[in-house]
Amino acid sequence: MKPFSALTQALACAGVLFSAQAYAAGEVNIYTTREPKLIQPILENFTKETGIKANTVFVKDGLIERVKSEGERSPADLLMMVDYGNLIDLVNAGVTQPVQSDTLESAIPASLRDPGHQWYALSTRARVLYAAKDLNLDKFTYEELADPKWKGKVCIRSGQHPYNTSLFAAVIAHDGAEKAQAWLEGVKVNLGRKAAGGDRDVAKDILGGICDIGIANSYYVGQMLNAAPDSDQRKWGEAIKVILPTFANSKDGGTHVNVSGAAVAKYSTNKDNAVKLLEYLASEKAQGLYASANYEYPVRAGIKPDATVASFGALKADTLPLADIAKYRKQASELVDKVGFDQ
């Protein structure tokens, strides 16, 4: 255990509200970029089953910078992030450590974890097509977004948003940079409005007649369709249908997915507990809770998604490893600026 005086100073500088007991053998400290309430029921079950208390600190922005500034005195044991790019950035920043676990590797597909064992996906969200309900459309490829027949009918959020740079990087990985640029130029021409807003705005604008189709994340539909019956969000969700797109040149014909995941902090003082929590989050029980609480897809095979999500059809995820797609993130971002996608 680290000296209490050093701990107190380090925690005060970081603004962390952990007590000194947070370094006890029966606890694990989590820094998370997603609202803790989304996983709180899962953490409570973990504590009931193991006796290990899970402390959470919500770090909306600057998680990497915070952990780096805390250095060896950081109280963080587990770092939870949304978007595989952010997980890879953790590794590149040198704030994680490898975890060798047969439990994790048997539960999580190789395409959804770091080849160097630094991070593991815990849930997935598909980048799907929202389409007006009255459209005679039941299948789609991402490449079709650039088809001239959709001119003025496509809605999407900023091309520089991580959800989209992730998809665009996958297009580069599948089709090559030259074709990806031409595709992105075609999608821009087809936009019914400036690339902006959020994913739910795609459904809102389809209801408003601004566009007919758009790309957005799957779990937002679960949130919208389960909102209050008289709410605007419910109306947006009821105005669309969801199609699981594929890549035209993919042999496997899979849909692009992104992830939420976690890595063990480099200077974790409760590493064993952090690994236990990771393994629990990949368990059948926790994966079922993930699916019901957040409308996300489980990473573990054999776990049923929420009924709303299941109504979209069976998800067959693109098998291209996220670590391979990540190589093209920077190039995807550069192409967004090159074609003036957000202008």
User: Tens digit of pLDDT for each residue in 192-235?
Assistant: 999 999 999 999 999 999 999 999 999 999 999 999 999 999 99
How crowded is residue 303: how many other Cβ atoms within 10 Å of its Cβ? Answer: 18
Is pLDDT at 123 greater than 90 in this prediction?
yes
Q: How many CB atoms lie within 10 A of CB 239?
A: 20
Give the number of other CB atoms < 10 A from CB of residue 109: 15
Q: Residue 25: which pLDDT band, with cuts at 50, 70 and 90? A: low
Type of residue found at 8: T
- The contacts found for 198-204 with CB under 8 angstroms, 24 or more apart, are 198/157, 199/157, 199/163, 200/224, 200/233, 200/236, 201/155, 201/157, 202/130, 202/155, 202/156, 202/157, 203/130, 203/236, 203/237, 203/239, 203/240, 204/232, 204/236
Q: pLDDT band for position 4 (50/70/90)?
A: very low
Q: How far apart are CA 288 and CA 73, in angstroms?
A: 35
- Check residue 79 and give its pLDDT: 98
Model confidence at 289: pLDDT above 70: yes
Mean pLDDT of 327-341: 97
Q: Around 2, how many Cα atoms within 13 Å sit in the side-chain half-sphere?
A: 19
Would you say residue 10 has pLDDT above 50?
A: no
- pLDDT value at residue 1: 35
Per-residue model confidence as pLDDT tens digits over 36-67: 888 898 999 999 999 999 999 999 999 999 99
* Least confident residue range of 12-16, 42-46, 287-291: 12-16
Average pLDDT value for residue range 247-256: 86
**pLDDT at position 19, please?**
40
pLDDT at residue 14, rounded to an integer: 41
Q: Which residue has the tokens 């630094």?
A: 118
Rounded (5°) CA angle 127-185-198: 40
Q: Which whole number is the average pLDDT over 20-32? A: 72
pLDDT of residue 111: 92
- Helix (H) or strand (E) holding 214, with range, is strand 213-217
| CB-side neighbour CA atoms (13 Å) of 132 | 16
Rounded CA gap, 186 and 180, in Å?
Answer: 10
Q: Which of the pair, 294 or 200, is modelled with greater confidence? A: 200
The pLDDT of residue 12: 38
Residue 3: pLDDT above 60?
Answer: no
Q: Are 106 and 50 in contact (CB under 8 A)?
A: no
Share of the chain above pLDDT 90, in %: 86
| 4-124+257-304 and 126-254+316-338 in the same fold | yes
**Cα 118 from Cα 265, distance rounded (Å):** 9
Res 192: pLDDT = 98
Alpha-carbon distances of 212 from 67, 190, 238, rounded to whole Å: 43, 11, 14
Mean pLDDT, all residues of the chain: 91
Q: Is 220 annotated as a binding residue?
A: yes
Its CATH class, for the domain covering 4-124+257-304, is alpha beta
| 285-291 average pLDDT score | 89
- Residue-wise pLDDT tens digits, 134-178: 999 999 999 999 999 999 999 999 999 999 999 999 999 999 999
Domain ranges across the chain: 4-124+257-304, 126-254+316-338
Helix, strand or coil, per DSSP, at residue 260: strand
Average pLDDT for residues 15-40, to the nearest whole number? Answer: 70
Identify the pLDDT of residue 36: 83
What digits encode the pLDDT tens for the residues 78-96? 999 999 999 999 999 999 9
Looking at per-residue pLDDT, the higher value among 147 and 291 belongs to: 147
What average pLDDT score do residues 3-11 get?
36
Is position 219 annotated in a ligand binding site? yes
Q: pTM value?
A: 0.87
Of 16-20, 108-112, 147-151, the least confident: 16-20
Paired with 79 in beta bridges are 31, 263
* Fold topology of 126-254+316-338: D-Maltodextrin-Binding Protein; domain 2 (3.40.190)
